[in-house]
Structure 1
Amino acid sequence: MDGGGFSHFPGEALDFLTALRANNDRDWFAENKAVYERAVKAPAEDFCRAVTGRLEEMTGLPHRPKIFRIHRDVRFSRDKTPYNAHLHISFTAETGSTSQPGWYFGLEPERLTAGTGVFELHKGDLDAFRARVAGKDGERLARLIGNLPADVRVSKPELKRVPQPYAADHPRADLLRRKSLTGWMDFANPREACENGFMDRCFDAFVRLRPLFDWLSAAARQPGR
């Protein structure tokens, strides 16, 4: 499948993020901004275009990519370092639903990961998710998660107890204790992002995570939701 000409990030991208982590101040960034623009920002835009096209072809849904800002919002944080020493990107299917799952990519000095899912289900969406989990469709989700590749990392439940009105010993208690659901595939070495053919390996991770996306997306697109 065509990757839109994008194969991999330049090695300079990971070098820049590693150096930024060690020199996280405005003077250093100003001196190296050209490197950021060339080695991180521009390749990330190319990556977004390539991945968006593939996701739309795979799912049949329009997607909107988002490159998260390198500037940190430090207004309410004790950590006043001004920059994010990582590259985070999301791809959201444009269905108009507040519970539509997304796809996620992260490149950091010590981690390279691809994921899918929903980070936060709000009241109405959360109630609908739990009702669906408690029924027959929840059995399918449990099997789906159990059949994911062994190297898929599924997020942990946020709640200690099963919420009312569901029984504490419900067979899908683990799923009912969730307020979000995401699955992740971690690459062995962040440097893989800078190797030939990375685009194909990254999209292969999305393909392997697709069953989770499809289950969540089906709920988000139900009539009246």
Structure 2
Amino acid sequence: MAQFDCFSPAAVGFLQDLKANNTKDWFAANKAVYETHLKTPSKLFADDMALALGDLTGQVHSSKIFRIYRDVRFSKDKTPYNAHLHLAFTPTGQVAQPPMWFFGLSPEKLSLGCGVFQYEKGSLDAFRDAMVGPSGAELMQTTTELRERGYRIGEPELKRVPSGFDKDHPLEEALRRKGFAVWMDTETPAFVLKSNLTERTTAEFAKLMPVFQLLSRIK
């Protein structure tokens, strides 16, 4: 069975060239490069990372590789392909909307993240109920600490505290969120070209375990 170590320079080169030549003709002429250097290694990497995250968290994880083909039916942007590689890893059978792990490789950078982009209705109610107590204080402290360490965290989606909660609540910043995700960005995709990518990615994800553990308690 083939084993994965890291991506090749040809994988990053393919994404760079695809960004500059995002057409069906160019992709067809270079599909073999995509299959060999991006698609097949991505599957091996996804399988390895799912197992590694299981070891890190103690929870079984599934993996998803997002399609390179764009759905352009309702988009003004009609370019046919995504010039990036996105993977997501999700713990199975735990909570209704668990935190996920994200791996995003583009021609310019690599982003690694953990969290929930946006809670659905039932899960959003549970999130807000948790944010009025110790979990809200923990989220705000985690936000401060990780931002000081250079992690990227978006601002709350709402300008005001949602109805049903004290508009002057001391944890209002947490209550104004509709999700919570934390990102580590690199300025170069060279991270993926070095040996032992699975181990090194897992080590970066381990730094986000406080986010994973906090959001995993919301049920």
Task: Classify the TM-score, shorter chain.
Answer: over 0.9
The SS at the match of 2:207 is helix
2:29 to 31, 36, 40: 31
- Counterpart in 1 of 2:166? 167
Q: Residues of 2 paired with 1:96 and 1:196: CA distance?
A: 33
Q: Residues of 2 paired with 1:206 and 1:76: CA distance?
A: 34
Deviation at 1:213, TM superposition (A): 0.7
188 and 200 in structure 1: CA distance in 2 versus 1, 3 angstrom threshold:
farther
Deviation at 1:58, TM superposition (A): 1.3
Aligned identity (percent) is: 45
76 and 36 in structure 1: CA distance in 2 versus 1, 3 angstrom threshold:
same
Please tell me the residue identity of whatever aligns with 1:153.
R
Q: Superposed, which structure 2 residues align to 1:17-28 within 5 Å?
A: 17-28=15-26
Length-normalised TM-score, structure 1:
0.91
Q: Residues of 1 paired with 2:178 and 2:136: CA distance?
A: 15
Deviation at 1:154, TM superposition (A): 1.5
Q: Residues of 1 paired with 2:17 and 2:143: CA distance?
A: 38
Contact 1:118 1:181 in 2 (8 A): yes
Contact 2:140 2:173 in 1 (8 A): no
Q: Residues of 2 paired with 1:54 and 1:119: CA distance?
A: 22
Task: Report which stretch shifted further, 81-90 or 164-173.
Answer: 164-173
The SS at the match of 2:155 is coil
Deviation at 1:5, TM superposition (A): 4.6
Please tell me the residue identity of whatever aligns with 1:122.
E
Q: Residues of 1 paired with 2:141 and 2:69: CA distance?
A: 41
The SS at the match of 2:89 is strand
Contact 2:102 2:112 in 1 (8 A): yes
- Counterpart in 1 of 2:212? 213
Task: Report which stretch shifted further, 145-154 or 64-73.
Answer: 145-154
Structure 1 gap segments, 5+ residues each: 221-225
Please tell me the residue identity of whatever aligns with 1:86.
H
Aligned residues: 217
Length-normalised TM-score, structure 2:
0.93
Structure 2 gap segments, 5+ residues each: none
Q: Residues of 2 paired with 1:124 and 1:20: CA distance?
A: 40
2:66 to 65, 68, 71: 68
